[in-house]
Amino acid sequence: MSLDALFQPRAIAIIGASSKEKSVGNDIVENLVKQGYAGQIYPINPKIDSLHGLPVYHSVAELPEKIDLAILAIPAKFVSQEIEQAALKGAQAALVISAGFKEVGQKELEQELVATCQRLGVTLAGPNCLGVINPSWKMNASFASIMPPTGEIAFLSQSGALCTAVLDYASNLGIGFSKFLSTGNKAILQELELIKYLHADAQTKVICIYAESLENAPEMIRTLRDLNRGSTPKPIIILKSGKTAAGANAVASHTGSLSSDDAAYQALFDQAGIIRANSVSELFDLAQVFSLNQTQAVKKIAIITNAGGPGVLTTDAVIESGLGLAKLSAPTLTKLRAFLPASASLNNPVDVLGDAMGEIYEQAIEVLIEAEEVDALIVLLTPQSMTEPNKVAQAIVKMRAVSSKPIVVSLMGKDLVADGVQILRQNKIANLTFPEPTAKALAKFAKFYDWSTMENEENLSSTTVDRSKVASIFAKLQGEGRKSLIEVEALEVMRAYGFPLLKSVFASNAEEIVNSMQNFDSEVAIKIVSKDILHKSDVGGVVLGVSQKNIIAETKLMLERVKKNKPEAKVDGVLIMEMAPKGIELILGINKNSLGTMLMFGLGGIYVEVLKDVNFAFNPLNKTDALNLIQNLRANKILTGVRGAQAVDQVAIVDALSRLSQLVNDFPQIKELDINPLLAGPTGVKVLDARIILD
């Protein structure tokens, strides 16, 4: 796949060049000609002879030399055949601007385009896209009118319309780009290939993406862990649309009903170290902070302000974002007292008061940036009659020259601080419009550094498993034309993979029920067994604390309840199980979606769908993934022991997650799986119930 031919072509053919003003085929040629592209430009159109001072060729076959890139802005039905001709002229990449493919229901036409490019070895960008821009190459091969300045931010977008808005917005902020691409339908060229290319690109420091969909989460996680856990991490910032879209179609398992499209993307972002932006403005706030500061550890923040309100707002945002305020040392406080007025607040945030001039700001910045207890600095300024935004900006520039500690600034306002903002931009210092985003951006900056410095781990696996036993159970189901395992079968799968189980016996008649009680020393639980019933509690199919004396009577009552609540269900028998010890009910599960297979962990039992305190991670898991599933629960304090209770055995929970991960890897035909509840106590875990559905 040749991405150099897409981003740095020496010769470009524009197939569909047009003499009609304000048309795509006209604008692309005009942009290339008038915005400084130094390579060869070959407009192609059988009906015209010249365009923007260039000769127009009637076909690709007429071109006098080889080309690297073919840009196509012609009706969709002709695109594949023109790429055939372009490949004969050496084209290694095709940028298909044309619409009319799968986005309008023409899937076959797009499949033909993909097959053509794959057969010819041509890199395909698009179709249905805005184009590509490489400012350092002076190449605007798009129908956007703006050529942005050269910068260190690469931008990829699935939306062409958003591209034009972003270019205008970035221009107003003075932000430049290393590469800029509209990905369109992403028929072949996906984000991951582009990320790998841009990660190796010396001009690119930060990669920003607007995505409506992504693919293959496990591969993306593995690749980004390899790329960004090393000496040269490059932040990936993604704005994902559809955050509140409806999740997957209704499914029978708890895991399916609790998962959603956004839960899957958040799991991907967390595991892959992707920084999530929640708006276009935050995307560029983050891009500035990451591109203009050296990636490093940030824990304790110092704040300088000339107004109390913004200082308090920023303090709240710092704490809520997971960072902390630096506790200023005695030497630091002594230095501040030497020049600040007596009424100034020396507690962090340092309030230099509303009449602070540029010199006061400079002295305060110097003291705090040199303080060992400070990792990063937020500088706030509100424009008051005596405020000197220019001098404050110059003071920040001066400190930036002698310190690599991250500095994020918010010169609040517009016209009154415009000159100061311009000074910061010219000197590559991040200035955000309001104080709260400065704290949130700095927190995501800190989180990425922490993630990037982690060691990559081996994926969890378990060798003490009986694959052949599970294979035989699944084969039996296939032979019977069934997809759902009854509980007895599901527990056999659990046993084969080494999950700790309670003692249990299946009984299909009264005699077997009575005889089975000889296996138990105390009261038992009885559960209905039916291929037609997934949620036993919902139909009254579970009874607890049953003694040998009344087991027949309790079984009869349970069968009557089930018959009333689920009259169409065929009952196979009952499962008699020892009563569970005391513990905390948890849930493990899996869910498959367009991104891959996710494992779920959270609070279980009958309230799982009410409380919805669950976390997701893509399989395969490593130990850190498993611990994050556990420790990021809202109810994690319950697991660690509260009010004298003992902590649950987290090692045993990780082992259960490891076994589940191995089971899913070994048997990809498992569509849905719930272990609910998984009972956790101080000395281990027990599987009380399991539900498995196959594809």
Q: Which domains does the chain have, with CATH numbers?
A: 1-127 (3.40.50.720), 148-295 (3.40.50.261), 298-452 (3.40.50.261), 503-578 (3.30.1490.20), 584-694 (3.30.470.20)
Q: Is the pLDDT of residue 260 over 80?
A: no
Question: pLDDT band at residue 248, thresholds of 50, 70 and 90?
Answer: very low
Question: pLDDT band at residue 253, thresholds of 50, 70 and 90?
Answer: very low
Which of 242-246, 326-330, 338-342, 373-377 is predicted with the least confidence, judged by mean pLDDT? Answer: 242-246
Burial class (CB in 10 A: 0-12, 13-18, 19+), 24: buried
Identify the pLDDT of residue 255.
43
Identify the pLDDT of residue 246.
46
Q: Is the pLDDT of residue 657 over 80?
A: yes
Of 161, 130, 132, the closest CA to residue 148 belongs to: 132
Q: Distance (Å, rounded) from C-alpha 242 to C-alpha 309? A: 34
Identify the pLDDT of residue 257.
47
> CB neighbours of 437 closer than 8 A, spacing ≥ 6?
281, 282, 285, 410
Three-class DSSP category at 346:
coil
User: Taking a C-beta distance cutoff of 8 angstroms, is the pair 162, 33 a contact?
Assistant: no
- CA 48 to chain CA centroid, Å, is 48
Identify the pLDDT of residue 232.
87
Q: Distance (Å, rounded) from C-alpha 633 to C-alpha 582? A: 21
Residue with tokens 């796949």: 1
First CA to last CA distance, the chain: 35
Identify the pLDDT of residue 147.
95
Instruction: Please indicate whether residue 231 or residue 263 has the higher confidence score (pLDDT).
Output: 263
The rounded mean pLDDT for the chain is 93
Find the mean pLDDT for residues 473-491: 93
Q: Report the greatest alpha carbon distance in the chain.
A: 100
Identify the pLDDT of residue 518.
86
Identify the pLDDT of residue 172.
85
Of 579, 626, 621, the closest CA to residue 601 belongs to: 626
Of 30, 539, 451, the closest CA to residue 227 belongs to: 451
Positive/negative CA dihedral, 186, 188, 193, 198: negative
Residue with tokens 């084209």: 91
Identify the pLDDT of residue 510.
87
Of 525, 585, 589, the closest CA to residue 554 belongs to: 525
Instruction: Output the 3-class SS for 129-195.
Output: CCEEEEHHHCEEEECCCCCCCEEEEEEEECCHHHHHHHHHHHHHHCCCEEEEEECCCCCCCCHHHHH
User: Taking a C-beta distance cutoff of 8 angstroms, is the pair 622, 457 a contact?
Assistant: yes
Q: Distance (Å, rounded) from C-alpha 146 to C-alpha 155? A: 14
Q: Is the pLDDT of residue 584 over 60?
A: yes
Identify the pLDDT of residue 249.
39
pLDDT tens for each residue of 72-95 = 999 999 999 999 999 999 999 999
- CA 437 to chain CA centroid, Å, is 20
User: Taking a C-beta distance cutoff of 8 angstroms, is the pair 490, 674 a contact?
Assistant: no
Q: Distance (Å, rounded) from C-alpha 421 to C-alpha 392? A: 10
Burial class (CB in 10 A: 0-12, 13-18, 19+), 414: exposed
Q: Distance (Å, rounded) from C-alpha 580 to C-alpha 329? A: 54
Question: pLDDT band at residue 588, thresholds of 50, 70 and 90?
Answer: very high
Q: Distance (Å, rounded) from C-alpha 302 to C-alpha 377? A: 5
pLDDT tens for each residue of 490-540 = 999 999 999 999 999 999 998 899 888 888 988 999 999 998 888 888 899
Three-class DSSP category at 422:
helix
Q: For the chain, how many residues are written?
A: 695
310 cis-preceded (ω within 30 degrees of 0): no
Burial class (CB in 10 A: 0-12, 13-18, 19+), 549: exposed
Q: Distance (Å, rounded) from C-alpha 452 to C-alpha 160? A: 31
Q: Burial letters for 478-494: b for 16+ Cβ neighbours within 10 Å, e otherwise?
A: eeeeebbbbbebbbbbb
Find the mean pLDDT for residues 11-34: 97
Of 117, 147, 115, 118, the closest CA to residue 131 belongs to: 147
Q: Distance (Å, rounded) from C-alpha 503 to C-alpha 459? A: 31
The pair of three-digit structure tokens given for residue 649, joined into one six-digit string: 């055995």
Task: Supply the pTM of this predicted model.
Answer: 0.91
Burial class (CB in 10 A: 0-12, 13-18, 19+), 115: exposed
DSSP codes of every residue in 327-343: ---HHHHHHHHTTS-TT
Partners of 679 in beta bridges = 585, 686
Burial class (CB in 10 A: 0-12, 13-18, 19+), 231: exposed
Q: Distance (Å, rounded) from C-alpha 590 to C-alpha 576? A: 26
User: Taking a C-beta distance cutoff of 8 angstroms, is the pair 631, 625 a contact?
Assistant: no
Three-class DSSP category at 415:
helix
C-alpha dist (Å) from residue 543 to 89, 303, 395, 484, 547: 76, 60, 74, 23, 11
pLDDT tens for each residue of 402-420 = 999 999 999 999 999 999 9
Identify the pLDDT of residue 148.
95
Give the dihedral of Cα atoms 189, 191, 192, 193; nearest 10 deg. 40
In one-letter notation, the amino acid at residue 600 is: M
